[in-house]
Structure 1
Amino acid sequence: MSETALMVAIVDLALEAELRHRTEQGEFIRPLAVAPLVSYSWLLSYCRERKIRSRNCHHTAESRERALIAVQDDGLPIRLAAKSAGMSKSAVHRIVMKRRKSMVDSVDEVGFETVPPYRCPEHGKTTLRPCPACAAMR
């Protein structure tokens, strides 16, 4: 075995050991591909070949609450709240929408029926029938 092949084998073993260790600690594979020499697709195929899998880590109650506070109280957009909480945009959106749905009553006690919008041929879209502008001109 040549010296170069030996070095490649050592680097390969070290990389595999590091990836196994970090994924067992709960890290995902995507953030590990930050070096400019290692692309995410290469790292993913490398992990598949060696059966290295990241565990499914559910978000903690603290990170969910932090994202909710960032969106609702601080007024941050979902993208920035997700970045600050260390979550994906879709996860934050799902949590925020679930909270909003739980806070809104499904049926109002003082409900009223709405009418569909009406398009006046002269003045365009209106919710009142007949069109108030047409009625005023008559």
Structure 2
Amino acid sequence: MSLKETITNDMKAAMKAGDSQKLGTIRMLLAAMKQREVDERITLTDGDIVALVEKAIKQRKEAIAQFSAGGRNDLVNKETAEIAVLTPYLPAQMSDAEVDAVLAAAVAEVAATGVTGNAAMGKVMAIVKPKLAGKADMSAVSGKVKAKLG
């Protein structure tokens, strides 16, 4: 079953259960998916949907930081609940050891070509992004790459 079908089935289950929080979040995700399909005249793949889910989660994390700073705990709780609804649509997250192994291999590969500095950062990220997309927090990966290269 494709990810799109899974999300649609989850929406139906949320409707039947009367779970308005989950239903609203899933409808928002389906609307974003439909908007992208219409705008780009494509049919989304599972990888495209994972990217949309990652973007939605990132937006919510940024909103949580802003709401926390503003003392709006009610909105922090709402955004946290939405993240909990969206997270199951991501692939299983890689452990830190697995991420470190991928990074070490990429850094060694780039170092073998003699590239250093910011160019090395870009080359390492270009190597690891396809391998880690959706499976690890890319901002944390970026920080680890800086630490390894620095």
Provide TM-score, normalisation by structure 2.
Answer: 0.31
Larger Rg: 1
Higher relative contact order (CA 8 A, sep 6+): 2
User: By percentage of residues, which structure has more strand?
Assistant: 1
Provide TM-score, normalisation by structure 1.
Answer: 0.33
